[in-house]
């Protein structure tokens, strides 16, 4: 089931975020992601509307919205490929009429997933934090 984030979910969300980020972005060193955990805990998650995929008390994925931006969508690597991402995306699209997101160009698997979900590429830009190219995508 997909439900609202609760403060008790924070450690599970951060664990999923870190493991999935490292797996999806081997072109960015793991130390970069590890250095951002406190920012996620203290700034990004609290400033977002976050929803949890909870399967009998096990947090398997989440997404975060900031306005019309899909700021994060991650599924635990242990549970990827089981339709959880699609369910999370359907929920996000039911909450917002339009959505934008950025994804690293090298993360081809995610770009393919977002295209299947109806997102179109708007433009490319350089991520100021890593120097890697990212793709701005929009769903409307």
Give the pLDDT band (50/70/90) at residue 127: very high
The mean pLDDT of 34-57, rounded to a whole number, is 96
Residue 68 is part of which domain span? Answer: 2-139
Q: What is the 3-state secondary structure (H, E, C) of 76-107?
A: CHHHCCCCHHHHHHHHHHHHCCCEEEEEECCC
Q: Strand 133-139 and strand 120-126: pairing?
A: antiparallel
Percent of the chain with pLDDT over 90: 98
Q: Distance between the two ends of the chain, CA-based, in angstroms? A: 25
Looking at the chain, the whole-number percentage of residues with pLDDT higher than 70 is 100
Residue pair 117/128 in contact (Cβ under 8 Å)? The answer is no
Whether 90 has a pLDDT exceeding 90, the answer reads yes
Number of independent structural domains in the chain? 1
C-beta of residue 102 within 8 angstroms of C-beta of residue 135: yes
Residue 140 has pLDDT above 90, yes or no: no
- Cα three-residue angle 76-33-104, rounded to 5 degrees: 80
In the predicted model, what is the mean pLDDT of the chain?
Answer: 96
The CATH number of the domain where 62 resides is what? 3.40.630.30
The reported pLDDT for the residue numbered 87 is 98
């Amino acid at each position: 089931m997909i439900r609202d984030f609760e403060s008790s979910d924070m450690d599970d969300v951060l664990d999923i975020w870190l493991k999935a980020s490292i797996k999806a972005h081997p072109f960015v060193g793991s130390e970069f992601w590890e250095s951002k955990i406190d920012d996620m805990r203290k700034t990004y998650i609290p400033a977002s509307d976050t929803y949890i995929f909870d399967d009998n008390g096990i947090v398997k994925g989440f997404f975060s919205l900031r306005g019309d931006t899909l700021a994060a969508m991650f599924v635990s690597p242990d549970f990827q490929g089981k339709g959880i991402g699609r369910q999370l995306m359907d929920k996000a699209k039911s909450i917002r009429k339009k959505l934008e997101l950025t994804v690293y160009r090298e993360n081809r698997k995610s770009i393919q997933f977002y295209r299947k979900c109806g997102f179109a590429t708007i433009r490319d830009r350089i991520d100021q934090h890593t120097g890697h190219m990212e793709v701005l995508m929009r769903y409307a």
